[in-house]
Structure 1
């Protein structure tokens, strides 16, 4: 009986020892300290120009030593969560900031040999064999352009993220609000006021033939928001209409009774350049003034009747065109 009992105790002891060894994970390269990293968002950060989906700005914070990694025997799981009050955007791993046209993503560097390789939160993956992942060495808070119109404003960057590899755990907690400063992009532009009606009045055929027809000035305003006062607006304008070439608009209802022939409307800007009827030749707008809702940019031009070739006949000389704002 004594030998039998002794054998049972020995077997039980081996089972407990083996079970504990199989489930235990350890730190290699030193245990990370502290296990909770508190970071504070910068008071403000300036954005740069970028296409939709591109990076507008970022800031980075170091977390733990790059040589440290978590080690487990057998298949294991690693993950990093994200808890925040931000809503997901239409782009993967990008969250809405509440500022028009700007999203944010949170990405950690896990590769000690290449800081340009990072994983964006949240994520999870399986470690297939013996070993484990490196701890997060740094976190990049990256602001991303999500729309055509880009504004400025305050972004709450309070969030919590937990890195786990089985029972090993590290926590990142962030507090604060960042002001996004925008001196290079804008929230959008729109036409100010009603349609422009250029009164050409009556002109004689002779004056049109010899180039002495009266020149009529006109202008229109565009309001752009999200820019600092006097900033050079990244917006250009071109025109659409029944045009035979830049700077020459055909009359409406040509060939119909009572409509003049052999005549068009010559159009130039205040510097004498022909108005473009193609996006590739768009021209810039000039800052005029600021108002409570943004900055006002003005286009100024001149119109007059001009010969287009062929026999000139008197009649009605109306024409219409649209202006198109070109920005991205």
Structure 2
């Protein structure tokens, strides 16, 4: 019998708690916004990009739409939040970022109340947050449009989009925030839109070399060159472009032969790759070398790399055989 009384008491408490949550609601502290909605003013006509890593903000615009009015809502431990639908843009693969028509530039839309500690920092829909009865939650007063770098290459040009966000709270009619035909022209004097070599593949004829010459280190270096064209708006000063290499190596600049270890392949030797100053070429991004700027074209900056390749001993007995190798280069810019 005692067990049954305890069970009834626990059931009653659970029912009371559920009833309290179901009837909780929010209310306007003063009055709702006129017309029950907000229209976002136009963006600034131009947006200038600044340097930033991929995934970070290159530029932003903060626009006030409340005309100085403040619309707080009081809630009793309820959740409030915002949803949003963006038109004209697709997701960019980064949190809350949408892809634009300009290469490497994404848009992120946030809402803020700069003067209110109750709002906190910029919030990006969709989101929800808890409330406290002693801390009214204001409707947002500013929209923040952030231009986020989404890739290595960054272009320029017009961006156009729209959105409809809605603020919701229990017991209160949803408040829409609507931006239509939002357009700005992205200007770019920082980044290249693309860098690529004039020739995609280079063959360096190494010729036939006597084993005795490799043993003594008496081999002829073969020169190779690479011109790189970086397109986009020309920087005030030529921006740095770097290069490093990828391939089968034992250390920087010492390239193994294709199919090393096979009976028909030479052994005890490798191909040494160096720049014009005799420094072995790097095979890690952290050691990438600067390319030499050559000249400007109407739509591109031209950079140059000069290297050398020669056979050198790599340890062990040098044996004759096929001695080909392949190396790839990686351009680092922006």
TM-score, length-normalised on structure 1?
0.69
C-alpha contact 2:243 2:329 (8 A) present in aligned 1: no
Q: Is residue 2:102 matched to residue 1:95?
A: no
Give distance in 2, aligned partners of 1:248 and 1:73. 69
Q: How far apart are 1:274 and its partner, in Å?
A: 0.5
Q: Is residue 2:110 matched to residue 1:104?
A: no
Mapping of residues 134-283 of structure 1, within 5 Å? 134-159=138-163, 166=172, 173=179, 175-205=181-211, 207-208=213-214, 211-226=217-232, 228=234, 231-233=238-240, 235-241=242-248, 243-252=249-258, 260-283=266-289
Contiguous gaps of at least 5 residues in structure 2: 1-24
CA RMSD of aligned residues (A): 4.4
SS in 2 for 1:120: coil
Q: How far apart are 1:252 and its partner, in Å?
A: 4.0
Give distance in 1, aligned partners of 2:183 and 2:28. 37
Specify which of 113, 118, 123 is matched with residue 116 of structure 2.
113
C-alpha contact 1:39 1:175 (8 A) present in aligned 2: no
C-alpha contact 2:245 2:283 (8 A) present in aligned 1: yes
C-alpha contact 1:67 1:112 (8 A) present in aligned 2: no
SS in 1 for 2:137: coil
Contiguous gaps of at least 5 residues in structure 1: 1-21
Kindly name which structure, 1 or 2, has the bigger radius of gyration based on alpha carbons. 1
**Residues 248-302 of structure 1: CA distance to partner in whole angstroms, max 9, x if unpaired?**
2234455666655543322101222101233442323334456688555433201
TM-score, length-normalised on structure 2?
0.68
SS in 2 for 1:42: coil
- What is the total number of aligned residue pairs between the two structures? 305
Classify 1:85/1:208 alpha carbon distance in 2 versus 1 (closer, same or farther; 3 Å): same
